[in-house]
Chains A and B, each alone.
Chain A
Amino acid sequence: MKVVLPDKNIKTIDFTSVSIEQILLDLGINPLEVIVSRNGTLVSEDMIVGNDDEIQIIRIAHGG
C-alpha cells in the first residue's frame, strides 16, 4: 500500500487490510490533525483499506 505522507514523502506499507486510523496511529499521527483520502476520495478513518489502495494524508494547517 502506498501512503503519501503530509510532507509528500511516500511510504510503502505491506498490509492485507487495516483501518486508516490504525495506519495513522502507527505513523505517530493524531487522526484529528489530518484528513485522509483513499485513491483520491475523502474517507472516514474507520474505513478498512487494502494493499492495492493509495492513501494520502493531508495535515490541517492551524490558524486562519
Chain B
Amino acid sequence: MSRVVEGLIPPWQHKRRTLTRFEAKTDTRYGYNPYERPIRMHLRLGVINLDKPRGPTSHEVSSRIKDLLGIERAGHGGTLGGFEPGDIRPFLACYRYY
C-alpha cells in the first residue's frame, strides 16, 4: 500500500523569480562568490549538514567539530530527539560557524 496525499506546496518547492530594479555590476575586488572563498573564510562562514551519531550530545559534537576545524566558534541549529524520551535516534543537525 502506497498512497500520497498532496496538499500544499512545501517551502522547499517554491520557485521564485528575480526581477531587476536597477542594472548594476559588482566589483571583483571586493568580496567573494560564496563557493570561491579562501578556505579559512569558507570554514568560518560554513555550515555542515551532519547526520549526528546517537551517543554524544549536539553540544559535544559541535565542540568537537570546532576543534577539528580550528575555528573560534561553532554552534548547532537543532537536532530532533532533544525532548523525546526512549530510544528515538537524534539525527539531522546543522552545524554553523560564525
Q: Do A and B actually bind?
A: no
Q: Which residues on B are within 8 Å of A, measured CB to CB?
A: none
